[in-house]
A = this chain, B = another copy of it.
Amino acid sequence: MSDHSPAFHDHNHDTCTHDVLHHAEELVRRDGIRLTPVRRRTLEILVSEHRAMGAYEVLDRLAADGFGNQPPVAYRALEFLVEHGLAHRINRLNAFAACMHPGEAHSPLFLICQACEAVAEAPSDPVRTAVEQAAAQHDFAVERVNIEVLGTCPACAGDAKEC
């Protein structure tokens, strides 16, 4: 892990933290989802780190905050967040990250740096369209799309050149 993690560019972290939690609150009002203490704290942890975190890493944090310290505690909270579009699961890394475009209809597209493991989430509407077309050729009804791109982030590409 490195210090390149918070996406690949500087950003106002207070703003994105606020946006995500605000969106969650809205779902509480609008859809009646239950943002219980564990779930809320789990989301806060993901947002505050702003990177892909393993379930056991999240679990450690939760335990430190006085929640249960057994795997299901973390997995259940994470699953809940994913189900409601507040977080994503990044299969390639067996990890989770808060959704940084909450509410927007989008198929998450993850840019995963192989050097520093930073993960950026990009909007992907044109990609989604292309995917739908490919699926249509197989008479396949799309429900969820997960796109994971492996490569090198600008920071690490720069590091490599310096050597």
Q: Are A124 and B135 in contact (CB under 8 A)?
A: no
Q: Is the interface of A mostly helix, strand, loop or mixed?
A: mixed
A152 interface contact, C-beta 8 A: yes
Residues of chain B with a CB closer than 8 A to A120's CB: 138, 140
* CB-CB under 8 A for A151 and B140, given A111-B135, A134-B109, A135-B111: yes
- Please provide the 4 A-B residue pairs with the shortest distance between their CB atoms, ordered closest to farther: A91-B91, A139-B154, A127-B130, A144-B150
A-B contact pairs, 19 of them (CB 8 A): A91-B91, A109-B131, A111-B135, A111-B138, A111-B140, A124-B130, A126-B130, A127-B127, A130-B130, A135-B149, A139-B154, A139-B157, A140-B153, A141-B157, A144-B149, A144-B151, A145-B147, A145-B149, A146-B147
Instruction: Identify the A interface with B (CB < 8 A).
Output: 8-9, 91-92, 109, 111, 113-114, 120, 122-124, 126-127, 129-131, 133-135, 137-154, 157
